[in-house]
Structure 1
Amino acid sequence: MFKKRNSILLFITVFADMMGFSVIFPIFPETIKYFLAISGDPVFNYFYQLALSLGGLEKPEFIVVLFGGILGSVYSVLQFIFSPFWGRLSDSLGRKNILIFTSAGNLIGYLVWLFSSSFSLFLLSRVITGSMGGNISVASASMADITTSQDRAKGMGMIGAGIGLGFIFGPLLGGLFSGTELHNLFPSLSGFGFTVFSSSALVSLLVAIINLILIIFLFHETLSSSDKKEKIESPFSHPILSSSKQSFRVLLFVSYIYFLFIFSFSGFEFCLNFFLNEAKSFTPREIGMTFLYIGLIIIFVQGGIVRRVSGKVSEIKIILSGVTIISLGYIGLIFLSDGNFGLFASLGFMSFGSALIHPGLSSLASLRSSSQEQGKNLGIFRSFGSLARAFSPISFALVYFGYGPYFVFILALGFSIFLGVSLLVWSRNE
């Protein structure tokens, strides 16, 4: 009974985490434009002058993308630092305790976002939620606790399905509520600093509250006493610098492949918002519906196909199949994205491929870890994804405005082919 309930609650936890992260996607351009329209914030003025020095005067739209890249990078750098730490701490203190702490931290971050009338407060909310971004790594470790090696991919597929569902509802709700201004709905609260994006923040806050309540009262600890590590490792040293075991080197290679995948896919995903807004003239609501389409495909593949092939097809074959399909999607975007049919067909291939790669790599990383180090190792694995998300927004933004969106598609395709070849060569020598 506890296993089924915990699986559902872990699904809800990663859903809430990803929904809170992605709700801002369709309103990112408008949020930055809002802060551009007001002045006086010293932090904002610093980054504004930086953007001007990098060419923002000649290309004003570059300023919007650069600010978006900075905000995305801050969040992801903090995730890279803290995700392994929360994972290691959960190996000693238990999964439930850490999930409660990080979920409560996310709740506080969304509360700050709700009343972020200045850029500094908005940045602070991203710092808090980024620091607490250990939910997915701890949830993955908890799922590993309650699954066997035979059904590990199925369990990770369920985690992936939660991520996919959050990816559906986050942008969708962000787009749908983008035109709802809370100070008009609640005039008595207009003095609390509500902005044009506070309604989206309120949605994230409410989901975080529900998630925290469910974890506190319904979640059952998955880490057995015999598997808990007695010694808590230092929080001040990143675990990728502290081990040289062969099994750990294998984990680092899998994490490296994950880095390449997330770097290319999240960089494309970041630029997609601006491509749809500028090149295709999509509104925030239409962008939200586009992400709904992407998320529905991801949830279908991870919640259906991956669960059915788990234990029957090797993780390597699942990943390589995903790389092939996502590469076809990038090729479609290069040649067919002028028309909406070609655009959505290509996005469909990309979504399908990414939905295979993610749980395949997660399962591979988990299977290479002992029961005593699931939290630490999956934290390391997830932190590589966070590191990729830290660099990809700004990197791909520079490519986008230096060479155009189609060069972004070509670059993402190149990364996908390279990681596929690297994984194929490694698997044959393993």
Structure 2
Amino acid sequence: MRGFMPQPAPVPFSLIQFILMACIISIGMGQFIVFAVLAPLIRSVGLQEIHGGLIISFSSIIFALSSGVWGRISSVYGRRKVMQIGLYGYCCGTLLFAAVFYAGLQWWLQGTMLFLALSVARMLQSTLMGATTPAATAYMADITTPEQRVKGMGLLGSAHSLGTILGPALAAPLILLHLLAPLLAASVITLLTALVVWKWLPRHDVQAPHAPIHIGREILRTLHSYFDPRYAGTLLIGVLMFLGYAMCQQTVGYLVQDRLLIGPEQTASIVAHAFICSAIFALTAQLLVVARLKLAPSTLLFLGLPMMLAGYVVLVQLQWERDALIAFSFIGFGFGLALPGFSATASLSVSAEEQGAVAGIIAGAPALGFILGPTLGAILYEMHTMAPYAAAALLNGLLAMAVLRRNRKQKAI
């Protein structure tokens, strides 16, 4: 009699969701660790504010293009495989980024050569790390019904918020050891997450033809997808929301150091704590408002934008450490409402077969905002220290009015 291999027990739905959240948590931790230490690192290696903005802008262009491509690749070759590529890529890319900064701190690389090396390292990292979020988002869309979609996207939003809490919380004590220690920790965390995905996340087959992927063609398709009329308006609102956020996030380290007249380690610590406040309030909004009240996605978007505006106004008159904490608490709460609203609105605008592609577009929205946001914020900051925050407040006010107007039009139809 022929023996048989026992079938593995099915993975519980809650465990699958937890693993998807772990992927987003690890990426969120890594990103906000970088944001917390970037400003003091830039000044410590002798570069200027504009250099930090350009490094993030260049990498954001790559991320915006690669996210859409990776979303489509995940529909052909599988979400799980693409998630692993992104996590392993983030691990190696962060190590490379840290190594270049170490060369700068030792004065082995200086000036233009250092700036170019940092830009290339970050762009290589962005090429691969752009795989994780769209694949995880598409996986969540695949395993949830349209009625569960807002809750599913809210879980991923909560995971991102939790990552942005844990990242700065981990960075704050590690900064005391060395400015690069948080980057090394981020590499280890993403490596461990990749191993969890490999070990426990089940393969998920999607109904898409297994055809070769032509990278150039996929990039063109991604660019074309950003103008899809079904979600182009929502995408524009999301991109501009992230642009305003990027202007403030990437310059707040300089603002804190200049206004409070403190050193790089103290600056990084205060910025890390501000990001922790932001993430705690974002998570609070997602758990208490998004998950429980079951508001429409457009309503969440409308409620979140004015809250972020209030935070930007507080930054305009920052004089004490507590002002940074208060400002980012407002920004975080608003972001916690607006981000799930944006993601769910875009996801619900397309069919099930297109979730991989639209997940890439959703994941690319922050990168699109970060293409111009950091550089524009640095330019405005050099003109006047209040300029980036006043501009972000004005932009969010206009976006809130645009969302309100669109909601009224939809109700009238």
Could you say if the C-alpha distance between residues 27 and 343 of structure 1 is closer, same or farther in structure 2, counting changes exceeding 3 Å? closer
Q: Which residue of 1 aligns with 2:74?
A: 90
Q: Which residue of 2 aligns with 1:262?
A: 242
1:427 has 2:407 as partner: yes
1:163 has 2:160 as partner: yes
Deviations 1:113-172 (A, max 9, x none): 343324355444312221112211221111111112222111111111111122122233
2:86 and 2:131 in contact (8 A); partners too: yes
Secondary structure at 2:215's aligned position in 1? coil
Q: How does 1:184-203 map to 2 (within 5 A)?
A: 196-197=179-180, 199-203=181-185
Q: How does 1:67-86 map to 2 (within 5 A)?
A: 67-86=51-70
CA distance in structure 1 between the aligned counterparts of 2:335 and 2:136, rounded to whole angstroms: 20
Q: How does 1:104-115 map to 2 (within 5 A)?
A: 104-115=88-99
1:382 has 2:363 as partner: yes
Amino acid at match of 1:362: S
Q: Which residue of 2 aligns with 1:2?
A: 12
Could you say if the C-alpha distance between residues 104 and 424 of structure 1 is closer, same or farther in structure 2, counting changes exceeding 3 Å? same
Secondary structure at 2:203's aligned position in 1? coil
Could you say if the C-alpha distance between residues 201 and 331 of structure 1 is closer, same or farther in structure 2, counting changes exceeding 3 Å? closer
Q: Which residue of 2 aligns with 1:48?
A: none
2:39 and 2:251 in contact (8 A); partners too: no
> What percent identity do the matched residue pairs reach?
20
2:270 and 2:321 in contact (8 A); partners too: no
2:225 and 2:361 in contact (8 A); partners too: no
Deviations 1:193-212 (A, max 9, x none): xxx52x22220111011011
Q: Which residue of 2 aligns with 1:317?
A: 299
Amino acid at match of 1:238: L
Could you say if the C-alpha distance between residues 114 and 32 of structure 1 is closer, same or farther in structure 2, counting changes exceeding 3 Å? closer
Amino acid at match of 2:71: G
Could you say if the C-alpha distance between residues 252 and 234 of structure 1 is closer, same or farther in structure 2, counting changes exceeding 3 Å? farther
Aligned counterpart for 2:22 among listed residues 5, 12, 18: 12
Q: Which residue of 2 aligns with 1:363?
A: 344
TM-score by length of 1: 0.83
Amino acid at match of 2:151: K
1:129 has 2:129 as partner: no
Secondary structure at 2:29's aligned position in 1? helix
2:153 and 2:340 in contact (8 A); partners too: yes
CA distance in structure 2 between the aligned counterparts of 1:229 and 1:413, rounded to whole angstroms: 45
For the aligned residues, what is the CA RMSD? 2.2
Q: Which residue of 1 aligns with 2:189?
A: 207
**How far off is 1:418 after superposition?**
1.5
**How far off is 1:33 after superposition?**
2.8
How many residue pairs get aligned? The number is: 381
Q: Which residue of 1 aligns with 2:6?
A: none
Deviations 1:300-342 (A, max 9, x none): 22234311123xx21111111111222233334445x335555
CA distance in structure 2 between the aligned counterparts of 1:94 and 1:31, rounded to whole angstroms: 38
TM-score by length of 2: 0.86
Q: Which residue of 1 aligns with 2:257?
A: 277
Q: Which residue of 1 aligns with 2:7?
A: none
Amino acid at match of 1:179: L
Could you say if the C-alpha distance between residues 110 and 331 of structure 1 is closer, same or farther in structure 2, counting changes exceeding 3 Å? closer
Q: How does 1:132-147 map to 2 (within 5 A)?
A: 132=128, 133-147=130-144
1:416 has 2:396 as partner: yes
Gaps of 5+ in 2: 1-10, 104-108
Gaps of 5+ in 1: 37-62, 182-195
